[in-house]
Structure 1
Amino acid sequence: MAGRTFQSRLMTGSGKFDSFETMRQSLAASGSEIVTVAVRRVQTNAPGHEGLAAALDWQKLWMLPNTAGCQTADEAIRVARLGREMAKLLGQEDNNFVKLEVIPDPKYLLPDPIDTLKAAEQLVKEGFAVLPYINADPVLAKRLEEVGCATVMPLGSPIGSGQGIRNAASIQIIVENAQIPVVVDAGIGTPSEAAYSMELGADALLINTAIAKATDPVAMGRAMGLATEAGRLAYLAGRIPVKTHASASSPTTGQVSH
Protein backbone atom coordinates (compact mmCIF):
# COMPACT_ATOMS: atom_id res chain seq x y z
CA MET A 1 0.00 0.00 0.00
CA ALA A 2 1.49 3.31 -1.15
CA GLY A 3 4.77 1.52 -1.78
CA ARG A 4 5.02 -0.05 1.67
CA THR A 5 4.54 -3.70 2.61
CA PHE A 6 2.67 -4.75 5.74
CA GLN A 7 2.18 -8.24 7.14
CA SER A 8 -1.19 -7.68 8.81
CA ARG A 9 -4.42 -6.82 7.00
CA LEU A 10 -5.93 -5.40 10.18
CA MET A 11 -5.51 -1.73 10.96
CA THR A 12 -6.57 -0.48 14.38
CA GLY A 13 -7.60 2.76 16.03
CA SER A 14 -6.10 4.25 19.16
CA GLY A 15 -9.17 5.97 20.61
CA LYS A 16 -11.71 4.85 23.23
CA PHE A 17 -9.44 2.53 25.24
CA ASP A 18 -9.76 2.77 29.02
CA SER A 19 -5.98 2.97 29.45
CA PHE A 20 -2.80 3.14 27.41
CA GLU A 21 -1.71 -0.23 28.79
CA THR A 22 -4.91 -1.89 27.61
CA MET A 23 -4.44 -0.22 24.23
CA ARG A 24 -0.86 -1.47 23.90
CA GLN A 25 -1.79 -5.03 24.86
CA SER A 26 -4.84 -5.06 22.56
CA LEU A 27 -2.93 -3.78 19.54
CA ALA A 28 -0.16 -6.30 20.15
CA ALA A 29 -2.68 -9.13 20.42
CA SER A 30 -4.34 -8.07 17.17
CA GLY A 31 -1.10 -8.22 15.20
CA SER A 32 -1.94 -4.84 13.68
CA GLU A 33 0.96 -2.79 12.30
CA ILE A 34 -0.94 0.35 11.25
CA VAL A 35 -2.55 2.47 13.96
CA THR A 36 -4.61 5.59 13.43
CA VAL A 37 -4.07 8.69 15.55
CA ALA A 38 -6.51 11.60 15.61
CA VAL A 39 -4.20 14.56 14.99
CA ARG A 40 -6.58 17.28 16.13
CA ARG A 41 -7.51 15.47 19.35
CA VAL A 42 -3.88 14.74 20.24
CA GLN A 43 -2.85 18.34 19.63
CA THR A 44 -5.70 19.74 21.73
CA ASN A 45 -5.20 17.15 24.51
CA ALA A 46 -8.79 15.99 24.17
CA PRO A 47 -9.92 13.59 26.92
CA GLY A 48 -8.27 10.21 26.46
CA HIS A 49 -5.73 11.60 23.99
CA GLU A 50 -3.28 13.30 26.37
CA GLY A 51 0.10 11.72 25.64
CA LEU A 52 -1.42 9.19 23.25
CA ALA A 53 1.10 9.68 20.46
CA ALA A 54 4.00 9.03 22.84
CA ALA A 55 2.30 5.98 24.38
CA LEU A 56 3.01 3.71 21.41
CA ASP A 57 6.27 2.37 20.01
CA TRP A 58 6.53 3.95 16.56
CA GLN A 59 9.62 1.88 15.81
CA LYS A 60 7.29 -1.13 15.55
CA LEU A 61 4.04 0.48 14.42
CA TRP A 62 3.21 2.65 11.43
CA MET A 63 1.31 5.80 12.27
CA LEU A 64 -1.77 6.65 10.24
CA PRO A 65 -2.61 10.26 11.17
CA ASN A 66 -6.29 10.97 10.64
CA THR A 67 -8.28 14.13 10.19
CA ALA A 68 -11.07 13.20 12.62
CA GLY A 69 -13.06 16.21 13.74
CA CYS A 70 -12.68 18.08 10.45
CA GLN A 71 -15.90 19.30 8.84
CA THR A 72 -14.55 20.83 5.62
CA ALA A 73 -11.93 20.10 2.99
CA ASP A 74 -9.84 23.09 4.07
CA GLU A 75 -9.77 21.94 7.69
CA ALA A 76 -8.82 18.41 6.67
CA ILE A 77 -5.97 19.62 4.46
CA ARG A 78 -4.57 21.74 7.28
CA VAL A 79 -4.81 18.90 9.82
CA ALA A 80 -3.23 16.42 7.37
CA ARG A 81 -0.18 18.68 7.15
CA LEU A 82 0.03 18.80 10.94
CA GLY A 83 -0.24 15.00 11.03
CA ARG A 84 2.69 14.61 8.69
CA GLU A 85 4.79 16.83 10.93
CA MET A 86 3.69 14.87 14.00
CA ALA A 87 4.81 11.62 12.39
CA LYS A 88 8.18 13.16 11.60
CA LEU A 89 8.62 14.35 15.19
CA LEU A 90 7.98 10.80 16.37
CA GLY A 91 10.68 9.40 14.11
CA GLN A 92 8.78 8.47 10.95
CA GLU A 93 10.52 10.86 8.58
CA ASP A 94 9.16 9.20 5.45
CA ASN A 95 5.56 8.88 6.64
CA ASN A 96 3.24 10.71 4.25
CA PHE A 97 0.11 8.68 5.06
CA VAL A 98 -3.16 10.34 6.04
CA LYS A 99 -6.55 8.88 6.76
CA LEU A 100 -8.82 11.51 5.28
CA GLU A 101 -12.05 12.12 7.19
CA VAL A 102 -14.38 15.01 6.39
CA ILE A 103 -17.47 14.65 8.56
CA PRO A 104 -19.84 17.61 8.96
CA ASP A 105 -22.71 15.49 10.31
CA PRO A 106 -22.49 15.18 14.13
CA LYS A 107 -25.34 12.68 14.56
CA TYR A 108 -24.65 9.91 12.07
CA LEU A 109 -20.98 10.81 11.43
CA LEU A 110 -21.33 10.20 7.71
CA PRO A 111 -18.53 11.53 5.47
CA ASP A 112 -19.01 14.42 3.05
CA PRO A 113 -18.31 13.02 -0.44
CA ILE A 114 -17.80 16.38 -2.16
CA ASP A 115 -15.30 17.83 0.31
CA THR A 116 -13.59 14.46 0.68
CA LEU A 117 -12.86 14.41 -3.06
CA LYS A 118 -11.77 18.06 -2.99
CA ALA A 119 -9.37 17.47 -0.08
CA ALA A 120 -8.04 14.25 -1.62
CA GLU A 121 -7.13 16.02 -4.87
CA GLN A 122 -5.12 18.66 -3.03
CA LEU A 123 -3.40 16.25 -0.65
CA VAL A 124 -2.35 13.94 -3.48
CA LYS A 125 -0.79 16.97 -5.19
CA GLU A 126 1.16 17.64 -1.98
CA GLY A 127 2.59 14.13 -1.97
CA PHE A 128 0.37 12.49 0.62
CA ALA A 129 -0.66 8.84 0.49
CA VAL A 130 -4.36 9.48 0.96
CA LEU A 131 -6.64 6.87 2.56
CA PRO A 132 -10.13 8.40 2.26
CA TYR A 133 -13.03 7.35 4.49
CA ILE A 134 -16.21 7.25 2.40
CA ASN A 135 -19.72 5.92 2.16
CA ALA A 136 -19.83 2.68 0.17
CA ASP A 137 -20.27 4.60 -3.09
CA PRO A 138 -18.69 2.82 -6.07
CA VAL A 139 -18.69 5.97 -8.25
CA LEU A 140 -16.94 8.08 -5.61
CA ALA A 141 -14.49 5.24 -4.91
CA LYS A 142 -13.47 5.18 -8.57
CA ARG A 143 -13.12 8.97 -8.70
CA LEU A 144 -10.85 8.91 -5.64
CA GLU A 145 -8.75 6.19 -7.23
CA GLU A 146 -8.47 8.25 -10.42
CA VAL A 147 -7.16 11.31 -8.54
CA GLY A 148 -4.41 9.17 -7.00
CA CYS A 149 -5.56 7.95 -3.59
CA ALA A 150 -3.62 5.05 -2.09
CA THR A 151 -6.77 3.24 -0.94
CA VAL A 152 -10.48 3.72 -0.54
CA MET A 153 -12.09 3.06 2.84
CA PRO A 154 -15.83 2.43 2.55
CA LEU A 155 -17.83 2.18 5.77
CA GLY A 156 -19.68 -1.01 6.63
CA SER A 157 -22.15 0.95 8.75
CA PRO A 158 -21.94 4.14 10.86
CA ILE A 159 -18.82 4.67 13.00
CA GLY A 160 -18.90 2.88 16.32
CA SER A 161 -22.40 1.50 15.72
CA GLY A 162 -21.47 -2.18 15.70
CA GLN A 163 -24.20 -2.74 13.10
CA GLY A 164 -21.89 -4.82 10.92
CA ILE A 165 -21.93 -4.79 7.13
CA ARG A 166 -25.14 -3.14 5.92
CA ASN A 167 -24.00 -2.51 2.33
CA ALA A 168 -22.30 -5.69 1.15
CA ALA A 169 -23.43 -5.34 -2.47
CA SER A 170 -21.91 -1.86 -2.79
CA ILE A 171 -18.65 -2.96 -1.15
CA GLN A 172 -18.41 -5.87 -3.60
CA ILE A 173 -18.84 -3.48 -6.55
CA ILE A 174 -16.06 -1.27 -5.16
CA VAL A 175 -13.80 -4.31 -4.74
CA GLU A 176 -14.51 -5.57 -8.27
CA ASN A 177 -13.64 -2.24 -9.85
CA ALA A 178 -10.74 -1.06 -7.68
CA GLN A 179 -7.10 -1.21 -8.73
CA ILE A 180 -6.03 0.00 -5.27
CA PRO A 181 -6.58 -1.65 -1.87
CA VAL A 182 -10.09 -1.51 -0.43
CA VAL A 183 -10.26 -1.17 3.36
CA VAL A 184 -13.59 -1.68 5.13
CA ASP A 185 -13.70 0.91 7.88
CA ALA A 186 -16.41 1.46 10.53
CA GLY A 187 -19.34 -0.53 11.81
CA ILE A 188 -17.70 -3.90 12.42
CA GLY A 189 -18.74 -5.23 15.83
CA THR A 190 -17.77 -8.90 15.90
CA PRO A 191 -15.06 -11.17 14.50
CA SER A 192 -17.67 -12.86 12.28
CA GLU A 193 -18.38 -9.47 10.69
CA ALA A 194 -14.65 -8.89 10.23
CA ALA A 195 -14.29 -12.26 8.50
CA TYR A 196 -17.34 -11.56 6.33
CA SER A 197 -15.85 -8.24 5.22
CA MET A 198 -12.70 -10.02 4.10
CA GLU A 199 -14.76 -12.74 2.39
CA LEU A 200 -16.34 -9.98 0.28
CA GLY A 201 -12.87 -9.31 -1.12
CA ALA A 202 -11.71 -6.39 1.00
CA ASP A 203 -7.93 -6.09 1.20
CA ALA A 204 -7.89 -4.93 4.81
CA LEU A 205 -10.02 -3.70 7.72
CA LEU A 206 -9.84 -0.82 10.18
CA ILE A 207 -11.38 -1.60 13.57
CA ASN A 208 -11.41 0.53 16.72
CA THR A 209 -14.56 0.58 18.87
CA ALA A 210 -15.26 -3.16 18.63
CA ILE A 211 -11.87 -3.84 20.21
CA ALA A 212 -11.54 -0.87 22.57
CA LYS A 213 -15.02 -1.20 24.08
CA ALA A 214 -15.18 -5.00 24.29
CA THR A 215 -15.46 -6.51 27.77
CA ASP A 216 -11.97 -7.92 27.21
CA PRO A 217 -10.24 -5.71 24.62
CA VAL A 218 -7.07 -7.81 24.53
CA ALA A 219 -8.97 -11.01 23.74
CA MET A 220 -11.09 -9.16 21.18
CA GLY A 221 -7.99 -7.75 19.54
CA ARG A 222 -6.65 -11.26 19.05
CA ALA A 223 -10.04 -12.48 17.82
CA MET A 224 -10.24 -9.69 15.24
CA GLY A 225 -6.73 -10.44 14.02
CA LEU A 226 -7.54 -14.12 13.57
CA ALA A 227 -10.88 -13.32 11.89
CA THR A 228 -9.15 -11.02 9.41
CA GLU A 229 -6.73 -13.80 8.47
CA ALA A 230 -9.51 -16.40 8.25
CA GLY A 231 -11.68 -14.18 6.06
CA ARG A 232 -8.85 -13.46 3.66
CA LEU A 233 -7.92 -17.14 3.42
CA ALA A 234 -11.57 -18.02 2.79
CA TYR A 235 -11.80 -15.42 0.02
CA LEU A 236 -8.71 -16.80 -1.68
CA ALA A 237 -9.90 -20.40 -1.21
CA GLY A 238 -13.18 -19.68 -3.00
CA ARG A 239 -16.48 -20.58 -1.37
CA ILE A 240 -18.88 -23.18 -2.78
CA PRO A 241 -21.84 -21.95 -4.86
CA VAL A 242 -25.10 -21.33 -3.04
CA LYS A 243 -27.75 -23.84 -4.14
CA THR A 244 -31.51 -23.96 -3.66
CA HIS A 245 -31.42 -27.70 -2.91
CA ALA A 246 -29.43 -30.16 -0.81
CA SER A 247 -26.34 -31.89 -2.12
CA ALA A 248 -25.27 -35.14 -0.42
CA SER A 249 -21.77 -35.13 1.06
CA SER A 250 -21.34 -38.86 0.54
CA PRO A 251 -21.42 -40.58 -2.86
CA THR A 252 -24.60 -42.45 -3.77
CA THR A 253 -22.79 -45.28 -5.60
CA GLY A 254 -22.17 -48.53 -3.80
CA GLN A 255 -25.17 -48.22 -1.49
CA VAL A 256 -26.71 -51.39 -0.12
CA SER A 257 -30.11 -51.93 -1.74
CA HIS A 258 -32.99 -53.74 -0.06
Structure 2
Amino acid sequence: MIKKIQEKVKNIIDIEDNLKIANQKFESRLMLGTGRYKNVQEAIRSIEASKASIITVAVRRIQYSKSLGKSSLIDLLNWDKLWLLPNTAGCETADEAIRIASLGIEINKRINQEQNKFIKLEVISDSNYLLPDPIGTLKAAEYLVNKGFNVLPYIYPDPILAKQLEDIGCSAIMPLGSPIGSGQGIRNTENLSIIIENTSLPVIIDAGIGTSSEANKAMEIGAKAVLINTAIAKSAEPRKMAESMKLAVMSGRECYLAGIMKKQIHGTSSSPETGLLKIK
Protein backbone atom coordinates (compact mmCIF):
# COMPACT_ATOMS: atom_id res chain seq x y z
CA MET A 1 0.00 0.00 0.00
CA ILE A 2 2.79 2.42 0.97
CA LYS A 3 4.67 1.60 -2.23
CA LYS A 4 1.60 2.39 -4.34
CA ILE A 5 1.17 5.75 -2.58
CA GLN A 6 4.85 6.57 -3.14
CA GLU A 7 4.56 5.74 -6.85
CA LYS A 8 1.41 7.88 -7.14
CA VAL A 9 3.12 10.85 -5.49
CA LYS A 10 6.17 10.41 -7.73
CA ASN A 11 3.99 10.41 -10.83
CA ILE A 12 2.27 13.63 -9.69
CA ILE A 13 5.63 15.32 -9.09
CA ASP A 14 6.96 14.18 -12.47
CA ILE A 15 3.90 15.53 -14.29
CA GLU A 16 4.09 18.89 -12.54
CA ASP A 17 7.78 19.24 -13.37
CA ASN A 18 7.52 18.39 -17.06
CA LEU A 19 9.49 20.54 -19.48
CA LYS A 20 7.10 22.93 -21.24
CA ILE A 21 7.88 24.68 -24.53
CA ALA A 22 5.21 26.58 -26.43
CA ASN A 23 2.39 24.83 -24.51
CA GLN A 24 3.85 21.42 -25.38
CA LYS A 25 4.88 19.21 -22.44
CA PHE A 26 7.83 16.80 -22.46
CA GLU A 27 8.80 14.22 -19.85
CA SER A 28 12.56 14.39 -20.42
CA ARG A 29 14.81 17.43 -20.05
CA LEU A 30 17.54 15.78 -22.09
CA MET A 31 17.38 16.56 -25.82
CA LEU A 32 19.52 14.61 -28.29
CA GLY A 33 21.16 15.41 -31.58
CA THR A 34 21.55 12.72 -34.22
CA GLY A 35 24.80 13.48 -36.04
CA ARG A 36 28.27 11.92 -35.79
CA TYR A 37 27.18 8.40 -34.84
CA LYS A 38 29.00 5.47 -36.46
CA ASN A 39 25.74 4.10 -37.79
CA VAL A 40 21.97 4.41 -37.51
CA GLN A 41 21.65 1.47 -35.13
CA GLU A 42 24.05 3.07 -32.64
CA ALA A 43 22.04 6.30 -32.77
CA ILE A 44 18.78 4.46 -32.12
CA ARG A 45 20.22 2.56 -29.15
CA SER A 46 21.53 5.81 -27.65
CA ILE A 47 18.21 7.59 -28.09
CA GLU A 48 16.38 4.72 -26.42
CA ALA A 49 18.82 4.66 -23.48
CA SER A 50 18.59 8.42 -22.99
CA LYS A 51 14.78 8.39 -22.64
CA ALA A 52 14.86 11.74 -24.46
CA SER A 53 11.57 13.23 -25.62
CA ILE A 54 12.93 15.69 -28.21
CA ILE A 55 15.24 14.66 -31.04
CA THR A 56 16.84 17.23 -33.31
CA VAL A 57 17.80 16.40 -36.89
CA ALA A 58 19.48 18.60 -39.49
CA VAL A 59 17.00 19.25 -42.30
CA ARG A 60 19.78 19.20 -44.87
CA ARG A 61 20.92 15.76 -43.71
CA ILE A 62 17.41 14.39 -44.11
CA GLN A 63 17.10 15.81 -47.62
CA TYR A 64 20.52 14.42 -48.54
CA SER A 65 19.66 10.90 -47.33
CA LYS A 66 16.38 11.03 -49.19
CA SER A 67 18.09 12.01 -52.44
CA LEU A 68 20.33 8.96 -52.16
CA GLY A 69 17.34 6.68 -51.73
CA LYS A 70 18.57 5.41 -48.36
CA SER A 71 16.58 4.87 -45.19
CA SER A 72 17.45 7.71 -42.83
CA LEU A 73 17.21 7.76 -39.07
CA ILE A 74 13.99 9.71 -39.31
CA ASP A 75 12.32 6.75 -41.02
CA LEU A 76 13.33 4.33 -38.26
CA LEU A 77 12.35 6.18 -35.08
CA ASN A 78 8.98 5.91 -33.34
CA TRP A 79 7.53 9.41 -33.73
CA ASP A 80 4.48 8.49 -31.66
CA LYS A 81 6.80 8.70 -28.63
CA LEU A 82 9.31 11.30 -29.82
CA TRP A 83 9.05 14.95 -30.85
CA LEU A 84 11.04 16.09 -33.87
CA LEU A 85 12.98 19.34 -33.66
CA PRO A 86 14.25 20.06 -37.20
CA ASN A 87 17.30 22.32 -37.25
CA THR A 88 18.82 24.63 -39.82
CA ALA A 89 22.42 23.43 -39.32
CA GLY A 90 24.69 24.41 -42.18
CA CYS A 91 22.94 27.70 -42.95
CA GLU A 92 25.23 30.73 -43.19
CA THR A 93 22.64 33.45 -43.75
CA ALA A 94 19.21 34.39 -42.42
CA ASP A 95 17.57 33.88 -45.83
CA GLU A 96 19.07 30.42 -46.16
CA ALA A 97 17.89 29.45 -42.66
CA ILE A 98 14.36 30.64 -43.44
CA ARG A 99 14.18 28.43 -46.53
CA ILE A 100 15.49 25.38 -44.67
CA ALA A 101 13.11 26.00 -41.76
CA SER A 102 10.17 25.78 -44.14
CA LEU A 103 11.42 22.38 -45.32
CA GLY A 104 11.66 21.33 -41.68
CA ILE A 105 7.95 21.89 -41.14
CA GLU A 106 7.21 19.73 -44.17
CA ILE A 107 9.26 16.95 -42.61
CA ASN A 108 7.18 17.26 -39.43
CA LYS A 109 4.09 16.69 -41.55
CA ARG A 110 5.69 13.66 -43.15
CA ILE A 111 5.94 11.93 -39.76
CA ASN A 112 2.36 12.89 -38.87
CA GLN A 113 3.28 15.76 -36.54
CA GLU A 114 1.19 18.34 -38.38
CA GLN A 115 0.80 20.40 -35.20
CA ASN A 116 4.58 20.55 -34.73
CA LYS A 117 5.83 24.03 -35.69
CA PHE A 118 9.11 23.73 -33.79
CA ILE A 119 12.36 24.73 -35.48
CA LYS A 120 15.84 24.98 -34.02
CA LEU A 121 17.30 28.05 -35.68
CA GLU A 122 21.02 28.02 -36.47
CA VAL A 123 22.71 30.73 -38.52
CA ILE A 124 26.47 30.14 -38.53
CA SER A 125 28.78 31.99 -40.90
CA ASP A 126 31.95 31.28 -38.89
CA SER A 127 33.42 28.03 -40.26
CA ASN A 128 36.30 27.94 -37.77
CA TYR A 129 34.74 28.24 -34.31
CA LEU A 130 31.14 27.68 -35.48
CA LEU A 131 29.86 30.59 -33.45
CA PRO A 132 26.31 31.71 -34.29
CA ASP A 133 25.64 34.96 -36.15
CA PRO A 134 23.60 37.17 -33.76
CA ILE A 135 22.28 39.57 -36.41
CA GLY A 136 21.33 36.83 -38.86
CA THR A 137 19.72 34.81 -36.07
CA LEU A 138 17.61 37.75 -34.88
CA LYS A 139 16.51 38.57 -38.43
CA ALA A 140 15.52 34.98 -39.26
CA ALA A 141 13.86 34.45 -35.89
CA GLU A 142 11.61 37.50 -36.28
CA TYR A 143 10.51 36.40 -39.74
CA LEU A 144 9.80 32.81 -38.68
CA VAL A 145 7.92 33.82 -35.53
CA ASN A 146 5.69 36.07 -37.64
CA LYS A 147 5.01 33.06 -39.90
CA GLY A 148 3.80 30.99 -36.95
CA PHE A 149 6.92 28.94 -36.21
CA ASN A 150 7.91 27.99 -32.66
CA VAL A 151 11.49 29.19 -32.87
CA LEU A 152 14.27 27.87 -30.63
CA PRO A 153 17.32 29.99 -31.56
CA TYR A 154 20.88 28.81 -31.00
CA ILE A 155 22.96 31.73 -29.73
CA TYR A 156 26.19 32.80 -28.06
CA PRO A 157 25.37 33.41 -24.37
CA ASP A 158 24.54 37.09 -24.85
CA PRO A 159 21.90 38.23 -22.32
CA ILE A 160 20.85 41.23 -24.46
CA LEU A 161 20.32 39.12 -27.56
CA ALA A 162 18.44 36.53 -25.49
CA LYS A 163 16.05 39.24 -24.27
CA GLN A 164 15.53 40.57 -27.80
CA LEU A 165 14.66 37.07 -29.02
CA GLU A 166 12.20 36.68 -26.18
CA ASP A 167 10.61 40.03 -27.02
CA ILE A 168 9.98 39.07 -30.66
CA GLY A 169 8.22 35.86 -29.57
CA CYS A 170 10.68 32.96 -29.59
CA SER A 171 9.62 29.84 -27.71
CA ALA A 172 12.93 29.06 -25.98
CA ILE A 173 16.54 30.25 -25.86
CA MET A 174 19.41 27.88 -26.67
CA PRO A 175 22.73 29.46 -25.62
CA LEU A 176 25.92 27.49 -26.17
CA GLY A 177 28.00 26.17 -23.29
CA SER A 178 31.07 26.32 -25.54
CA PRO A 179 31.65 25.85 -29.30
CA ILE A 180 29.83 23.00 -31.04
CA GLY A 181 31.53 19.64 -30.65
CA SER A 182 34.41 21.10 -28.61
CA GLY A 183 33.72 19.24 -25.36
CA GLN A 184 34.95 22.26 -23.42
CA GLY A 185 31.92 22.24 -21.14
CA ILE A 186 30.30 25.36 -19.73
CA ARG A 187 32.71 28.26 -20.26
CA ASN A 188 30.53 31.26 -19.44
CA THR A 189 28.46 30.43 -16.38
CA GLU A 190 27.95 34.09 -15.48
CA ASN A 191 26.26 35.03 -18.76
CA LEU A 192 24.20 31.85 -18.79
CA SER A 193 23.00 32.62 -15.27
CA ILE A 194 21.99 36.15 -16.33
CA ILE A 195 20.02 34.77 -19.27
CA ILE A 196 18.26 32.27 -17.01
CA GLU A 197 17.46 34.98 -14.47
CA ASN A 198 16.17 37.53 -16.99
CA THR A 199 13.96 35.42 -19.23
CA SER A 200 10.62 33.72 -18.70
CA LEU A 201 11.40 31.34 -21.57
CA PRO A 202 12.94 27.88 -21.16
CA VAL A 203 16.72 28.10 -21.42
CA ILE A 204 18.30 25.04 -23.02
CA ILE A 205 22.09 24.76 -22.85
CA ASP A 206 23.22 23.60 -26.27
CA ALA A 207 26.72 22.68 -27.49
CA GLY A 208 30.04 22.04 -25.81
CA ILE A 209 28.95 19.67 -23.05
CA GLY A 210 31.40 16.76 -22.92
CA THR A 211 30.69 14.91 -19.67
CA SER A 212 27.74 14.05 -17.47
CA SER A 213 29.07 16.32 -14.71
CA GLU A 214 28.83 19.28 -17.12
CA ALA A 215 25.24 18.35 -18.02
CA ASN A 216 24.53 18.18 -14.31
CA LYS A 217 26.08 21.63 -13.79
CA ALA A 218 23.91 23.12 -16.54
CA MET A 219 20.79 21.91 -14.76
CA GLU A 220 22.04 23.01 -11.34
CA ILE A 221 22.35 26.64 -12.47
CA GLY A 222 18.72 26.60 -13.58
CA ALA A 223 18.66 25.56 -17.23
CA LYS A 224 15.37 23.91 -18.15
CA ALA A 225 17.07 21.34 -20.40
CA VAL A 226 20.27 20.46 -22.25
CA LEU A 227 20.87 19.34 -25.83
CA ILE A 228 23.72 16.89 -26.36
CA ASN A 229 25.11 15.20 -29.44
CA THR A 230 28.87 14.84 -29.86
CA ALA A 231 29.59 13.84 -26.26
CA ILE A 232 27.39 10.79 -26.72
CA ALA A 233 28.03 9.99 -30.38
CA LYS A 234 31.83 10.18 -30.08
CA SER A 235 32.16 8.34 -26.77
CA ALA A 236 33.55 4.81 -26.68
CA GLU A 237 30.13 3.43 -25.71
CA PRO A 238 27.38 5.85 -26.80
CA ARG A 239 24.52 3.91 -25.22
CA LYS A 240 26.18 4.02 -21.80
CA MET A 241 27.04 7.70 -22.21
CA ALA A 242 23.42 8.46 -23.15
CA GLU A 243 22.21 6.79 -19.97
CA SER A 244 24.82 8.68 -17.95
CA MET A 245 23.60 11.99 -19.40
CA LYS A 246 20.00 11.05 -18.62
CA LEU A 247 20.84 10.47 -14.94
CA ALA A 248 22.99 13.61 -14.75
CA VAL A 249 20.18 15.82 -16.08
CA MET A 250 17.67 14.29 -13.66
CA SER A 251 20.05 14.72 -10.73
CA GLY A 252 20.91 18.32 -11.63
CA ARG A 253 17.23 19.23 -11.90
CA GLU A 254 16.47 17.72 -8.49
CA CYS A 255 19.45 19.59 -7.00
CA TYR A 256 18.19 22.89 -8.44
CA LEU A 257 14.66 22.32 -7.18
CA ALA A 258 15.93 21.34 -3.73
CA GLY A 259 17.55 24.76 -3.28
CA ILE A 260 21.34 24.92 -3.21
CA MET A 261 22.99 26.22 -0.04
CA LYS A 262 24.85 29.52 -0.26
CA LYS A 263 28.62 29.39 -0.39
CA GLN A 264 30.63 31.16 2.31
CA ILE A 265 34.26 31.77 3.12
CA HIS A 266 34.32 30.39 6.66
CA GLY A 267 33.52 26.85 7.72
CA THR A 268 30.42 26.19 9.81
CA SER A 269 30.16 23.28 12.20
CA SER A 270 27.43 20.78 11.40
CA SER A 271 27.37 19.65 15.03
CA PRO A 272 25.10 21.35 17.62
CA GLU A 273 26.62 24.22 19.59
CA THR A 274 24.46 23.62 22.65
CA GLY A 275 24.12 20.65 24.94
CA LEU A 276 27.75 19.64 24.48
CA LEU A 277 29.29 17.11 26.82
CA LYS A 278 31.67 18.88 29.19
CA ILE A 279 35.02 17.19 29.68
CA LYS A 280 36.97 18.07 32.80
Same fold, judged at TM 0.5 (above): yes
- State the Cα deviation string for residues 34-76 of structure 1 (Å, max 9, x = none): 00010012212399x9612212111111000000000000000
Q: 2:79 and 2:257 mapped to 1: Cα distance?
A: 32
| Native 8 Å contact 1:42 1:50 kept in 2 | no
How many corresponding residue pairs? 257
The correspondence for 2:32, drawn from 12, 23, 31, is 12
- Residue 173 of structure 1 aligns to a residue whose secondary structure is helix
Percent identity (aligned): 56
2:51 aligned with 1:31:
yes
TM-score by length of structure 1 reads 0.96
Candidates 231, 246, 255, aligned match of 2:267: 246
Structure 1 partner of 2:11: none
Contact 1:96 1:128 in 2 (8 A): yes
Of 121, 125, 144, 2:142 maps to 121
Provide, for residues 65-90 of structure 1, a one-character-per-residue CA deviation record: whole Å limited to 9, x for no partner: 00000000000000000010011012
Out of 22-31 and 169-178, give the one that drifted further.
22-31
**Match runs of 1:1-258 below 5 Å:** 1-45=21-65, 51-253=72-274, 254-258=276-280
Structure 1 vs Structure 2 CA RMSD: 1.4
CA distance in structure 2 between the partners assigned to 1:143 and 1:189 by the alignment: 29
Unaligned residue ranges in structure 2 (runs of 5+): 1-20
C-alpha distance in 1 between matches for 2:75 and 2:106: 14
SS of the counterpart of 1:85? helix
> How far 1:245 moved relative to its partner?
1.5
Structure 1 consecutive aligned stretches of length 4 or more whose deviation exceeds 4 Å = none
Deviations 1:174-220 (A, max 9, x none): 00011110000001011110010011110111011111111111111
Q: Which letter does structure 2 place at the counterpart of 1:58? A: W
Q: Secondary structure at the match of 1:5?
A: strand
Q: Give the 3-state SS of the residue equivalent to 2:23 in structure 1.
A: coil
Larger radius of gyration: 2
Which stretches in structure 1 are left out of the alignment for 5+ residues?
A: none
Contact (CA 8 Å) 1:66, 1:98: kept in 2 or not?
yes
Q: Is residue 101–residue 111 contact of structure 1 (8 Å, CA) maintained in 2?
A: yes
**Cα offsets for 1:98-130 (capped at 9, x unmatched):** 000000111100000000000000000111000
Counterpart residue identity of residue 109, structure 1: L
Contact 1:11/1:206 (8 A) holds in 2: yes
Higher relative contact order (CA 8 A, sep 6+): 1
Does structure 2 retain, via aligned residues, the 8 Å contact 1:14–1:208?
A: yes
